[in-house]
Chains A and B, each alone.
Chain A
Amino acid sequence: MLEIKNLHASIEDKKILNGINLTVKPGEVHAIMGPNGSGKSTLASVLAGREDYEVTEGEVNFIGKDLLDMAAEERAREGLFLAFQYPVEIPGVSNTNFLKTAINEVRKHRGEDPLDAVAFLKLMKEKMKIVNIDQSLMSRSLNEGFSGGEKKRNEIFQMAMLEPKLSILDETDSGLDIDALKIVSNGVNSLKSKDNATIVVTHYQRLLDYIVPDYVHVLYKGRIVKSGTKELALELEEKGYDWIKEEAAV
């Protein structure tokens, strides 16, 4: 589904990603961990198509296509979804109106007819249940004045609506209390299938109790320095990152 080969990226001549290699197959869950500033959000942004970053080397293949060749909106329409670490507030654009526009863009791309108001509302009701998000948030401006937790839920709600093939969740667990964490994780798990895949970026083992990864990778200084199974996350929780940094320095 996703194949990243030797990916290098920089911003304003500052090198941030230094040769990432990662393969994600349908049905898999990958966790990416790593200290602050190691490049996790940058990797997510580069995959989602943020243009501030310059890819200087490497290639990314997504469902058989050259991902780096596509505009951000094309990537989304092809089924890539990024749940942002810090979802932006957009005053004046209603959550509902935004989602309807987004869904119909994606449907158009797939050659499907646009959803009419009734069908859209029905779908929305159904998906709202998955993340237990409050109806009143729907008529409000997108993320405006939402609490941290509401913003994160709204990201997963959008994911549920758009049904992506590959979801990248960037620290979706931060700012969530334990109940919200369970709800959001359940949401993610219920959307899981053998045809889609998930990459979760997190600092905490806690999330991985709920969203159980098949693989865990450690990113450090823009490179994946260690990969393993879910036990690696437990080890990191216990020992911190110092031993990884030392290993990487050798």
Chain B
Amino acid sequence: MNDINLVDLKKGLKEQFDKFQGNINGQGKLAFNEVRKHALQQLEKIQFPTVKDEEWKYTNVQKILKHEFAFDLPSSGKIQEIESYIIPDLDAHRLVFVNGKLSEELSEIGQENGLTVLNIKDAQTQYGELVNEHLSKYAAFEEDAFTALSTAFTAEGAFIKVDKNKIIEKPILIFNFTDSTAANAIAMPRNLVIAEENAQVTVIEDYAAIGDNYGFINSVTEFKVSKNAIVHNYKLQNKSDKNFFIGTTQVHQEGDSHYNNTTITLGGDLVRNNLNILLDGEHCEAFMNGLYLLKDKHHVDNHSMVDHLKPNSYSNELYKGIMDGESKGVFNGKIFVRPDAQKTNAFQENKNILLSDKASIDTKPQLEIWADDVKCSHGATTGALDEEPVFYLRSRGIDEDKAKALLMFAFANDVLERIKSEPFKNHVAKLIGERLKQEI
């Protein structure tokens, strides 16, 4: 196909942006379009990060930028293949995006009182005021090139709103696919989740890919968790080689709210998960759980930040990783406790198992505490799989591979146990079993 236009992200964005502006029709007249323009200007100013940038010291995005990508690449139409990736047994409201475009065919949104699930493009016209109040208000793009890129090219994505006092039991699944069958494909889903006061909701993000060319997802999701609201957010990244993912989850919590994030990463050529949580009220609870299982030359970087602005809040972070082959993991966990945030409780733990000499992890806790009456702790461990338990299991007749798989699964299960959605948990457990090549 010669009508596919591949874009160099370092040089061709301006031209692509002009083209994009020509295609958004009525959207161009909305106030948000000024934000898009501003974001592009900002991106041109700050440029993409290099390893000289402290925040990107261990993750070289040149690996992505050296490729050219097609924007709005049409799906190959392999609907059945795509469908086969959808989590089984999960009764959910479902938005499916292929190369950033909503697939009506694969999506399925039921009617539920107090719940609004829409393509963000439609929300911008139907709920303009509300969207403007929140969209791009939490995920700052001034100093973050990938968020600026997402903001400039904001087109489609999930808009989820749960009304005050509503408990939505059925989870909402946002499934993003890159289909690189025809060419290298980029997608920039932009999601906004608003849980109003005292509301409850579960949002599952799943990212996967098909096709033999390179795929790149640059996603930004903003969560507004209002007073006393409860949000569970699970994020699964099950992509094969030749896939890049940069995702930012930006959370703004009000007082007495609860936000629980579990990020599962099962591979990718380059994956960067940014999770930033602002605890902007008293008695907030934030859970950050992560699991990464890497092999081959996978590179996965988890960056988290929890910012305690007010007193009496609690944050708890547990990230665990198993690295095999020549894979590389990065963990960076920031905890900020501002001067006002007395009686903060903040805990962080990062545990890693290296299965091969060539696998590695760079782990860096970063605690900055300006209040004096706080309880904070952090710990990081890295090592090979313990030999004693392996021998114990073998001495009971279990072969070495199976013994190791059992132990690795047990290690990972600590994180899985923090997932409240059974079908999602079972799905992840099955994927881990497949990775460990054992029935667990």
Contacts and interface: CB of A to CB of B under 8 A. Distances in A.
Interface of A: 48-51, 71-73, 75-77, 81-82, 84, 87-88, 90-93, 98, 101-102, 105-106, 109, 141, 158, 162
B400 A82 contact: no
Interface in B359-401: 388-389, 391-400
B389 A71 contact: no
B392 A87 contact: yes
B39 to A, nearest CB: 45
Interface stretch (B72-80, B301-309, B407-415): B407-415
Contact of A84 (B392, B406, B411): B392
B186 to A, nearest CB: 39
Nearest to A76: B397
Nearest to A51: B391
A50 B391 contact: yes
B437 to A, nearest CB: 15
Contacts of B402: 101, 105
A105 B388 contact: no
Given A93-B406, A93-B410, A106 B394 contact: no
A87 B396 CA distance: 12
Contacts of B411: 92
Given A106-B397, A109-B397, A72 B391 contact: yes
B392 A90 contact: yes
B410 A88 contact: no
A11 B403 CA distance: 24
Given A88-B389, A105-B399, A76 B410 contact: no
Size category, B interface: 20 to 34
A73 B389 contact: no
Given A72-B391, A72-B394, A73-B395, 6 more contacts: A75-B395, A90-B407, A91-B410, A92-B413, A98-B406, A102-B396
A109 B400 CA distance: 15
Contacts of A76: 394-397
A72 B400 CA distance: 9
A70 to B, nearest CB: 11
A163 to B, nearest CB: 12
Nearest to A79: B397
Contacts of A50: 391
A102 B403 CA distance: 10
B436 to A, nearest CB: 13
B397 A98 contact: no
29 contacts: A48-B395, A49-B395, A51-B391, A71-B394, A71-B399, A72-B394, A73-B395, A76-B394, A76-B395, A76-B396, A77-B397, A81-B395, A84-B395, A87-B392, A88-B388, A88-B392, A90-B389, A91-B410, A92-B407, A92-B409, A92-B410, A92-B411, A93-B407, A93-B410, A101-B398, A101-B402, A101-B406, A105-B399, A105-B402
Nearest to A92: B410
